[in-house]
Structure 1
Amino acid sequence: MPAQPEGDTPPLDGALPPAAASGARERSLSLYVHVPYCRVRCGYCDFNTYTAEELGPGASRADFRDGIRAELDLSLSVLDRAEVPRRPVETVFFGGGTPTLLPAAVLAGVLADIRERFELAPGAEITTEANPDTLSPKYLSELAAAGFTRVSLGMQSAVPHVLATLDRTHDARRIPEVVDWVRAAGLDVSLDLIYGTPGESLADWRTSLEAALACTPDHISAYSLIVEPGTRMGMQVRRGELPMPDEDDLADKYELADSLLAAAGYDWYEVSNWARGDEHRCRHNLAYWHNADWWGYGAGAHSHIGGTRFWNAKHPRAWADRLRAGQSPAIGREVLDGPTREIERIMLAARIRDGLPPDSLPAGARSAVAEFEASGLLEPGAAARGQWRPTLTGRLLADHLVRVLTDHLD
């Protein structure tokens, strides 16, 4: 289970500092709903999730919508008291956990509760993550009727032994059928893949990529496996039962993914994300990378409003108890100063194609851009055109780019 970050103790009423309202009209607003329930806990997972056996009394799934409704009301009160101007919500994302373990009527109900309290922008992107085994044509039709526009399927791999190592329970052979169901419901579909699982060969990874491409999804995410110390997989690696992912192997697999995806017509727009055209990019994830405002609802959810980051109590029972007591579920926060906000802006935007125009950099950091081009980390001539275009090598070294840029800050 992930440790909570260190931070200050926020007010019990969740009040934001006055600076949170500054410049709000220039920032978009997104909402995130964390659904912390899973059928089983995957050995690699470090997210804030719980099986039914772990929850115990006082944290019933039946009470989930009531808790989110209470937090929605609280968030409006907090934003109004801080004089943060009302803005249309551009994206809503249901993540987890496995949101689709809840009945479709519950997810639809939460979205209806959001609509009652917030204005949704025309064409707002409404996404839910889903485990393929939790879906049916009827379920997806109910989501579409409620206003969902997009489903992100946790495919992870098409190779049985890789799925077994990841403790994934779905049958990869069902993915094409489930993708067809999503499309029939009129929803966009994204497939999420993981590479670098212990025991996964380059041929295995090619099999997974080719299986995903055969489904012709609108969007593909490919994430490098990170072995977190507190997970079951982390303990297996520490005991020598599984090998630690090798950096050269991870680089080879990223390069293979980029090659196959580009050949199939998918353009990268963020280091780990590819889409079939700009209209299929995940706008919610882009809001994070652009350091926009978002409010996260649910146990353990994180939020960011105008340079103030805050996070909720992790356990669903503790989250619900605070709301029932009329208190904010936020248990920690960090108010970022100007220099820290600038570092975060660069750190996030550097991962996006064209996310960091050179003329948006301070003069000191701008001087590093020519060095990047000369060493093949940025496309030649892009900076002169005002573009931020990391090459394949530059994407592999994204963290290095950030370190150099921030070291050059005035």
Structure 2
Amino acid sequence: MPSALPDGEPMPEDGSLPSHALAGAGDRPLGFYLHVPYCATRCGYCDFNTYTATELRGSGGVLASRENYADTLIDEVRLARKVLGDDPRPVRTVFVGGGTPTLLPAGDLVRMLAAIRDEFGLAEDAEVTTEANPESVDPRYLEELRAGGFNRVSFGMQSARQHVLKVLDRTHTPGRPEACVAEARAAGFEHVNLDLIYGTPGESDDDWRASLEAALGAGPDHVSAYALIVEEGTQLARRIRRGEVPMTDDDVHADRYLIADSVMAEAGYSWYEVSNWATSEAGRCLHNELYWRGADWWGAGPGAHSHVGGVRWWNVKHPGAYAAALAGGRSPGAGRELLSAEDRRVERILLELRLVDGCPLALLAPAGLAAAGRALADGLLEPGPYAAGRAVLTLRGRLLADAVVRDLVD
């Protein structure tokens, strides 16, 4: 089941923020994340805040239904307008994730986007993305999204091999994600992403190469490739514990990452974040860059997280409780935390070090600077950027990114 929410102080019923949260807001971009928590089936590896129809039956009533969801989320967009007051910023990015957002009618996603446009305005060059399950869209659906203002779509491909998809409990058929890329292009989408997962139990190097070649052959301008993380409480974790499938070790993950970076570089894709590659700067996911660079975003939907000016908060998880709060005129926020200057410094190191331009050495405390010097000597940081005052991971450093970060935040 989905993981628990963090601890924090209570959220005000009206959702109000401390006065300092919007100080200097004009210098930071603003984005929206819209969470759609519905899935047709639950994938065995997933611990996101998602629900199938069976899981919701009898536990949320009409309030939790997909049919009412767009209207409920629009209520939170309107709440955001009240909370942010006269903040003049147009929205720079919108990302609709899940779950499977495309289980909702395309018109519902377009209405949710229109609410943001009506309440805040969209920047002239706004990036508007939705995630999609390959089996939940067709050409007409994609055309309706494009006509409604969406200009980027991200398809969950995971693998091109049927036996790998089966272990992941993915329901789409091999070949369908590649066809979706062509359909999205025909609908007018300039920017298309395919998500891949490596390290699934039973996957071979040849399987992984085949998945990469299939994905790149489809011609997206962005590819994300993530190592499979087996989360406690998931069906996959239980299967591994029972010995039904083997656990993939870290060395295999490292080998698969090296294969991915080599194959993508040869095909003209450049890494800009440890797990993300694009054919150009225009192809990068600007919304994710908001997260990685500590900008402002409002997360609407059950369990969604938000951050504005050093204030982070999160919504109640269950769709029924979420809808009930908004119907009662209350914020659906479950709790929040006020980040200290030290919190924000550490988070900048944690996130920015994963980017192609790295993080400023000036962010590091003395112990972190000493650790950076050792990482440089060990070939984990690039010498050129280091001399210019930035910590940038080498390819070997990317393989050990988590360990490098732990040392640098000391």
With structure 1 as the length reference, what TM-score do the two structures score?
Answer: 0.96
Aligned counterpart, 2:233: 230
Moved more, 40-49 or 11-20: 11-20
- 1:146 equivalenced with 2:148 (yes/no): yes
Deviation at 1:182, TM superposition (A): 0.5
- Please list, as runs of the form range in 1=range in 2, the aligned pairs for 1:3-42 lying within 5 A after superposition: 3-42=4-43
CA RMSD of aligned residues (A): 1.3
CA contact (8 A) 2:156 2:177 kept: no
Once structures 1 and 2 are overlaid, which stretch shifts more, 378-387 or 284-293?
Answer: 378-387
What is the percentage of aligned positions where both structures have the same residue? 57
Give per-residue Cα distances to partners, 1:262-307, cap 9 Å, x unaligned: 1111000000000001110000011100011100001111101111
Contact kept in structure 1, 2:37 and 2:50, CA below 8 Å: yes
**Number of corresponding residues:** 404
Counterpart of 2:355 (choices 342, 348, 352) is 352
For residues 53-72 of structure 1, what are the alpha-carbon distances to aligned partners after superposition, in whole Å with 9 as ceiling and x for unaligned? 22222211111111111111
**Which residue pairs with 1:171 in the alignment?**
173
What is the correspondence of 1:76-155 to structure 2 with a 5 Å cutoff? 76-80=81-85, 85-155=87-157
Q: Unaligned 5+ residue runs, structure 1? A: none
Q: Is 1:260 equivalent to 2:263 in the alignment?
A: yes
Give how far 1:360 is off.
4.7
- 1:60 is matched with 65
Partners of 1:226 and 1:400 in 2: CA distance: 16
Look up the equivalent residue of 1:53 and give its one-letter code. Answer: T
The one-letter code of the counterpart of 2:409 is T
Deviation of the 1:133 alpha carbon? 0.6
The Cα shift of 1:366 comes to: 3.6
Give the AA of the match of 1:71: E
Choose from 150, 153, 156 the match for 2:158.
Answer: 156
- C-alpha distance after superposition, 1:176-215 (max 9, x if no partner): 2211101111111100000111111111111111111111
> Is the CA contact 1:353–1:388 (under 8 Å) kept in the aligned structure 2?
no
User: Is 1:245 aligned to 2:267, yes or no?
Assistant: no
CA distance in 1 between partners of 2:359 and 2:311 (Å) = 22
Q: Provide the C-alpha distance between the structure 2 equivalents of 1:350 and 1:174, rounded to a whole number of angstroms.
A: 35
CA-CA distance at 1:372 after TM superposition:
2.0
SS in structure 1 opposite 2:409? helix
- Using the TM superposition, give the Cα deviation of residue 333 of structure 1 relative to its aligned residue in structure 2, in angstroms: 1.1
Deviates more, 1:7-16 or 1:262-271: 7-16
Range 236-245 or range 99-108, more displaced: 236-245
Q: Larger deviation: 373-382 or 221-230?
A: 373-382
3-state SS in 2 of match to 1:382: helix
Q: Report the residue type matching 2:56 in the other structure.
A: L
The offset of 1:363, in angstroms, is 5.6
